[in-house]
């Protein structure tokens, strides 16, 4: 069934044509800066008085203003999506798939401008932004393929009766994405719901409302009918609980922090007056991902993998490595190699170059929180590289390597979501596994080892949703490494798969007596 699916290929920006197109896209972005973006409800564009300001994390300049949705307008959006559901849920899957394929085409056609907005709004470099766009395309193409298959229904054993078991859509979904993958996570969450015949309201992250707006516009252009996808930015603290608790909300698809995910899960469990269902919650949350390095590992390769996992996109990937658990006999060598890699990554950081290996962290709140952890790190270990930061122009934090960290230290257990790596010394592989599993999270993990026994042991005992060997813990590819975590990392939804789509479907079993 997977035959014929091909992952999208990232652009090579060393090719002059690509570089020039990207520069042109940045000129277009420049010309659009400061614009006001309305809500989109039932296709109607509504400007509100209250605005959310989108700021560049690299320069703090204003990129644009998103209208902020009130509770009244959020209610209107949910009612609108509810009405649209009546028709969309009965629209043949074939037509829904056609819209999704057309959307993939439009995203490809708008590739450079979407990449450029992503760079500006999330602070990614060009390669990271285009990698994200490829992931988005992979989600759209895989969901189109899976839906065509699910539309055949469940295979049953033949009987004398006429029997059928079909997948049907469930209702209005509240889509609540994070800022760190404003195109692929937001887009994947929206399209998985739409292609399965549901309708959505999307409350994007307050840090990246423009990328989400551009995407929703493309959804409408692709032919998803007005009302099926509604765009309602607003502070999570103001309208978040409201949309989650609304009686017509049928499911919530959330990706973000553990704290907000737990709150949503709790709020969604309450049955509101007039509510006729138990809400489904898909919640993909944080991580405290570990990479284990044993004595038999290729140390240079391990160091490169650790540094890349810990510091690219400033450590702001849920899959980022933030703990390295290293055997004592290779500890010093590994630390030295990681420091060398961190030095290379720092090149051009803070220069304002949007294509430097490392850029800014997302906002002042993140900057304050991460630098606070760096101050904790000074007490909990020895900073051997980095530990320096500046918010003079944008929110820049140097890649920070901390050695001699105790396994129970805060920086070895709490999600920092920034470029801070704690390196813990271990005396055995068993001890490494025990420490790796001691956090409440269970998202990604890697092991660098040439010892089969250790590899086999980790396959069974390392409790994470995405486990890698002799490879970094980031850069999961759709349908190669289905993504989703255990424990407090979430509901293990495994994005990009057919299983993922069944979160937004009911199975209806139909039987007719033929006598």
Segment lying near ligand NAP (by CB under 6 A), choices 62-70, 84-92, 95-103, 231-239 = 231-239
Q: Which of 99, 134, 186, 318 is catalytic?
A: 318
Single out the residue of 169, 187, 287, 442 in contact with ligand NAP (rule: CB under 6 A).
287
State how far the Cα of 205 lies from the Cα of 210, in Å rounded to an integer.
10
Residue 415 interacts with ligand NAP (CB under 6 A)? Answer: yes
Residue 427: phi, psi to the nearest 5?
Answer: -105, -10
Single out the residue of 43, 153, 236, 247 in contact with ligand NAP (rule: CB under 6 A).
236
Q: How crowded is residue 512: how many other Cβ atoms within 10 Å of its Cβ? A: 8
Segment lying near ligand NAP (by CB under 6 A), choices 35-43, 152-160, 230-238, 340-348 = 230-238
Residue 244 interacts with ligand NAP (CB under 6 A)? Answer: yes
What part of residues 151-210 is at the interface with ligand NAP (CB under 6 A)?
176-181, 185, 203, 205-207
Residue 289 interacts with ligand NAP (CB under 6 A)? Answer: no
Q: How crowded is residue 54: how many other Cβ atoms within 10 Å of its Cβ? A: 24
Q: Output the smallest distance, CB 237 to ligand NAP, in A.
A: 6
Q: Which of 284, 337, 380, 415 is catalytic?
A: 284
CB 282 within 8 A of CB 200: no
Q: Which residues, at least 6 apart from 450, have a Cβ–Cβ distance to it below 8 Å?
A: 296, 297, 298
What one-character DSSP code corresponds to residue 239? I
Instruction: Please say if 262 is a catalytic residue.
Output: no
Residue 488 interacts with ligand NAP (CB under 6 A)? Answer: no
**Looking at the chain, how many residues does it have?**
515
User: What is the 3-state composition of the chain as percent helix, strand, coil, each rounded to the nearest 5?
Assistant: 40, 20, 35
Residue 120 or 245: which CB sits closer to ligand NAP?
245
CB 227 within 8 A of CB 199: yes
Q: Which residues, at least 6 apart from 273, have a Cβ–Cβ distance to it below 8 Å?
A: 247
Q: Output the smallest distance, CB 319 to ligand NAP, in A.
A: 8
State the chain's maximal CA–CA distance in angstroms: 80
Site size toward ligand NAP, by CB under 6 A: 34
Residue 403 bridge partners (DSSP): 382
Residue 422 bridge partners (DSSP): 323, 402
Tell me how far the alpha carbon of residue 242 is from its chain's centroid.
Answer: 23
Residue 205 or 354: which CB sits closer to ligand NAP?
205
Q: Which of 235, 261, 266, 247 is nearest to 171 (CA)?
A: 247
Residue 318 interacts with ligand NAP (CB under 6 A)? Answer: yes
User: In this structure, what is the dihedral angle of CA atoms 13, 15, 21, 23, given to the nearest 10 degrees?
Assistant: 60
Q: Output the smallest distance, CB 309 to ligand NAP, in A.
A: 13
Residue 264 interacts with ligand NAP (CB under 6 A)? Answer: yes
Structure tokens at 24: 């042109």
Residue 423-452 contact track with ligand NAP, rule CB under 6 A, x = bound = --------------------x---------
State how far the Cα of 30 lies from the Cα of 33, in Å rounded to an integer.
5
Q: Output the smallest distance, CB 465 to ligand NAP, in A.
A: 8
Instruction: Please say if 284 is a catalytic residue.
Output: yes
CB 13 within 8 A of CB 127: yes
Residue 142 interacts with ligand NAP (CB under 6 A)? Answer: no
Q: Output the smallest distance, CB 510 to ligand NAP, in A.
A: 35
Residue 58 or 426: which CB sits closer to ligand NAP?
58
Residue 315 interacts with ligand NAP (CB under 6 A)? Answer: no
Binding site for ligand NAP (CB under 6 A): 176-181, 185, 203, 205-207, 235-237, 240-241, 244, 255-257, 260, 263-264, 284-287, 318, 415, 417, 443, 485, 489-490
Residues designated catalytic: 284, 318
């Amino acid at each position: 069934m997977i035959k014929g699916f091909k992952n999208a290929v990232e652009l090579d920006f060393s090719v002059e044509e690509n570089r020039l197109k990207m520069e042109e896209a940045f000129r277009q972005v420049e010309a659009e800066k400061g614009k006001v973006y309305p809500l989109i409800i039932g296709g109607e564009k509504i400007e509100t008085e209250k605005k959310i300001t989108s700021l560049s994390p690299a320069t703090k300049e204003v990129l644009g203003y998103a209208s902020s949705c009130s509770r009244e307008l959020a209610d209107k959006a949910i009612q609108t999506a509810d009405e649209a559901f009546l028709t969309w849920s009965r629209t043949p899957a074939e037509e829904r798939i056609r819209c999704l394929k057309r959307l993939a085409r439009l995203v490809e056609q708008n590739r450079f401008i979407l990449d450029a907005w992503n760079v500006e709004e999330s602070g990614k470099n060009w390669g990271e932004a285009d990698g994200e766009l490829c992931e988005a395309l992979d989600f759209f193409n895989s969901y189109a393929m899976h839906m065509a298959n699910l539309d055949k229904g469940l295979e049953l054993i033949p009987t004398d009766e006429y029997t059928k078991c079909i997948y049907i859509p469930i209702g209005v979904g509240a889509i609540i994405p994070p800022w760190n993958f404003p195109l692929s996570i937001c887009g994947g969450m929206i399209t998985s719901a739409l292609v399965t015949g549901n309708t959505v309201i999307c409350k994007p992250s307050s840090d990246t409302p423009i990328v989400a707006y551009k995407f929703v516009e493309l959804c409408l252009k692709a032919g998803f009918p007005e009302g099926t996808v509604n765009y309602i930015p607003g502070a999570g603290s103001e309208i978040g609980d409201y949309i989650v608790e609304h009686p017509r909300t049928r499911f919530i698809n959330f990706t973000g922090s553990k704290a907000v995910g737990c709150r949503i899960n709790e709020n969604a469990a309450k049955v509101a007056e007039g509510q006729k269902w138990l809400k489904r919650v898909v919640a993909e949350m944080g991580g405290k991902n570990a990479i284990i390095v044993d004595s038999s590992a290729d140390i240079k390769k391990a160091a490169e993998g650790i540094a890349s996992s810990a510091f690219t996109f400033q450590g702001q990937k849920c899959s980022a490595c933030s703990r390295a658990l290293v055997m004592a006999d290779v500890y010093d060598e590994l630390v030295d190699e990681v420091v060398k890699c961190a030095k290379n990554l720092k090149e051009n950081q803070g220069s304002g170059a949007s294509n430097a290996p490392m850029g800014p962290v997302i906002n002042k709140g993140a900057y304050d929180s991460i630098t606070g952890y760096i101050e904790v790190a000074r007490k909990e270990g020895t900073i051997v590289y980095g530990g320096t930061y500046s918010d003079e122009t944008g929110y820049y934090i140097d890649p920070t390597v901390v050695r001699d960290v105790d396994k129970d230290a805060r920086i070895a257990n709490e999600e920092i979501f920034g470029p801070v790596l704690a390196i813990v010394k271990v005396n055995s592989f068993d001890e490494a596994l025990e420490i790796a599993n001691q956090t409440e999270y269970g998202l990604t993990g890697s092991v660098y080892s040439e010892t089969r026994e250790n590899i086999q042991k980790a396959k069974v005992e390392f409790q994470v949703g995405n486990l890698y060997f002799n490879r970094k813990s980031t850069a999961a590819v759709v349908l190669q490494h289905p993504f989703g975590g255990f424990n407090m990392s979430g509901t293990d939804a495994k994005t990009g798969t057919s299983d993922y789509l069944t979160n937004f479907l009911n199975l209806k079993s139909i039987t007719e007596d033929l006598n």
